[in-house]
Every structure is written in C-alpha cells, then in structure tokens.
C-alpha cells in the first residue's frame, strides 16, 4: 500500500479536497494525509462543495508539514505550486508532482466547484497509476 501526502500552502481547500477524494476512492489502495506549509483550518466552503459530491471532510484537520516525515511517504503531491518551497526530501520521493491548481479561497462558489472537480479527476488518474 502506498502512502500519499498532499501539500498546499495553508492546507484548507485543495489539499483537503484531495485528501477526501483519495480517502474515499483509494480505500484499500493507499493511505493518505494532507498538510500545509502552515496550518490553518478546513475551509467551510470546501466542506460544503465536498458534501455536494457526497463526501464529508468536516472531520479532517489542517496540519503543518513539520508534523510529518518525508520518508514515510511514497507519493507527494503539491496542489498550489508550493513544491519549490518544500524541503528537498519532500520532492525526491518515489513520485512527486506539482498540480498547480487555482486557489478557490475568496472566490465564488463556482470556482470551488471547478477546483473540486479538477482535484477529483487528478486523484482518479493518480490512483489508476498506483494500482
């Protein structure tokens, strides 16, 4: 079983969505966590649009990168272009990708929905590769 880490700047929207989709779609295939360069909160609108997709992420937490060890993860995905700010050990794991998705924070609900759907599609593609 592969261990996947999703990293974003604040671990509030995109990485939380990615964790939720991966936990649901990758059950039995991967273990998944998410974190941020800094911790904040799980954004209420991210929770809302994930509920629209049938997933409850309200129990997830926003955690700092410093709580985790890079060597515990096979796959590291940055969702915001923050890969350039990660310590080297995080970008040299078996798989590292930087998806550079738009930040929906402060944007209209339609932007949250579009980003949610982009995250879902990328997570599906990633899980297909890991099976």
Q: Which residues are catalytic?
A: 8, 80
What sign does the dihedral 67-116-74-98 (CA atoms) show?
negative
Cα distances from 57 to residues 7, 43, 66, 95, 109, in angstroms, run 16, 10, 22, 25, 17
d(CA 8, CA 90): 13
**116: closest CA among 77, 2, 35, 124?**
124
DSSP string covering 110-128, please?
HHHHHHHHHHHHHHHHHHH
Nearest-angstrom CA–CA distance, 14 and 5: 12
């Amino acid at each position: 079983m592969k261990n996947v880490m999703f990293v974003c700047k604040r671990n509030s929207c995109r990485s939380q969505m990615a964790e939720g989709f991966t936990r649901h779609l990758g059950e039995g295939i991967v273990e998944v966590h998410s974190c941020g360069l800094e911790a904040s909160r799980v954004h209420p609108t991210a929770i809302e649009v994930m509920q629209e997709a049938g997933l409850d992420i309200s129990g997830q937490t926003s955690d700092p990168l410093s709580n985790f060890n890079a060597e515990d993860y096979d796959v590291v995905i940055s969702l915001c272009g923050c890969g350039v700010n990660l310590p080297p050990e995080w970008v040299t794991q078996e798989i590292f990708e930087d998806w550079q998705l738009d930040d929906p924070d402060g944007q209209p609900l339609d932007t949250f929905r579009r980003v949610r759907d982009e995250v879902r599609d990328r997570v599906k593609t990633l899980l297909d590769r890991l099976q």
